[in-house]
Copies of this chain bind each other. A is one copy, B any other.
């Protein structure tokens, strides 16, 4: 319901094409909201119809033409209105966690395998986030305070996940060491 607002937030700083936005959704904002290019183009179309944004057509040679969008006053008003009213709590949809909840059906080995895979991904993210955050440390993180805080959120999130993964590993190890009185097949 608020892809539109995420787009407006991005357009606040600078004019951008749909393609530019898609890239940013894959990086910075992707941390908190992700979207594909189809959705973005569609939403830009709607925003344009409602004159929240406007664009100018830029012919390019060598590359395809593009449309550079910028936010309008109406768009900024809408954004501010949205910022004021409380956000709905995020709905959680974590397929991996559903697997954990149904873990009795699987063997530990395949759980551990996927745990490692997901862990690699998380650790990777953690590194990039930390790199970006320390870059902000060096220069000025007062101006980019909210970017910094967003990154911190991502960092703490990954760390919490990795910590949990360790707990899972040691719990599964303990369970295998002491062959318990649990039926292996019902």
Contact = CB atoms under 8 A, between A and B. Distances in A.
How many copies of this chain are found per oligomer?
2
B103 A175 contact: no
Contacts of A1: 95
Interface in A99-147: 99-106, 110, 114, 117-118, 121, 142-143, 145-147
A92 B33 contact: yes
A151 B62 CA distance: 55
Nearest to A104: B146
Contacts of A149: 100, 103, 164, 167-168, 171
Interface in A70-100: 79-80, 83-84, 86-100
B90 A32 contact: no
A83 B41 CA distance: 34
A163 B146 CA distance: 16
A139 B88 CA distance: 36
How many A residues are at the interface, by size bracket? 35 or more
A156 B150 contact: no
B83 A90 contact: no
A90 B100 CA distance: 14
A170 B51 CA distance: 38
Given A2-B95, A6-B101, A87-B96, 9 more contacts: A5-B95, A28-B101, A32-B101, A33-B93, A33-B97, A83-B102, A83-B105, A101-B150, A103-B145
20 contacts: A1-B95, A9-B98, A31-B97, A32-B98, A33-B93, A33-B94, A34-B92, A34-B93, A79-B105, A80-B106, A87-B95, A90-B92, A90-B94, A90-B95, A100-B153, A102-B146, A142-B182, A149-B167, A149-B171, A152-B164
